[in-house]
Amino acid sequence: MVSRSLEKMMLIAIGLSTVVIIGVPVLMYAIDTISTTTQLQEAVLVAGQIHNATRDVDTGVLNTTSITFWVNPGLSVTANEKTLTVLFIDNGTPANTWAATYSHDIIINEPILSHTGRVLYSAEFTLVDDSIHITFLEVPI
């Protein structure tokens, strides 16, 4: 026969083990979700900055402008004639796309390179010969 105090200790041990076995994966999932949400929010801001700068040059508000921003893995920028697309893909979440069409052709001289960590970039937007030239350069830190 097992004493009452030993039974209580066994029940506490089983309860704590259950909390750890179930709680740790749930906590890790929550942390991953928060991280993905933060990266998505940053991608939304970067896409807005890129499209705003492109629009300023496209509409003639500025002949040239530059911006600086942080890029997380999974962010890419492509151009197809007059359409500029910012794409963000992260860890199996649905792809997020921000595209806009402009009145000038868009040429990307230097693209955003793939990387594994967060990288600081600068981008220069210039109107040359009726085309918007975009140059992305990694900023050394």
pLDDT digits (tens, 9 = 90+) for 12-51: 888 888 877 887 777 777 776 666 678 888 899 999 999 9
Model confidence at 1: pLDDT above 60: no
pLDDT-derived band at 79, boundaries 50, 70, 90: very high
Where in the chain are the domains? Answer: 4-138
Position 126 pLDDT exceeds 90: yes
- Measured distance CA(20)–CA(133) in Å, rounded: 54
Q: How far apart are CA 26 and CA 20, in angstroms?
A: 10
Examine the pLDDT at 10 and tell me if it is beyond 90.
no
Average pLDDT over residues 93-99: 88
Residue range 93-119: mean pLDDT, rounded: 88
Average pLDDT, the chain: 87
Q: Which residues contact 12 (CB under 8 A, 6 or more apart)?
A: none
What number is the average pLDDT over the span 50-74? 94
Tell me what percent of the residues of the chain surpass a pLDDT of 90. 50
Helix (H, G, I), strand (E, B) or coil at 20: helix
Given a cut of 90, whether residue 53 has pLDDT beyond it is: yes
SS3 (DSSP) at 79: strand
Nearest residue to 77 (alpha-carbon basis) of 103, 56, 106? 106
Q: How far apart are CA 32 and CA 37, in angstroms?
A: 9
Minimum mean pLDDT range among 21-25, 48-52, 96-100, 106-110? 21-25
Provide the token pair at 114: 């793939």
Q: How far apart are CA 27 and CA 137, in angstroms?
A: 37
pTM of the model: 0.77
Specify whether the backbone of 44 is left (phi greater than 0), alpha (psi in -120 to 50) or beta: alpha
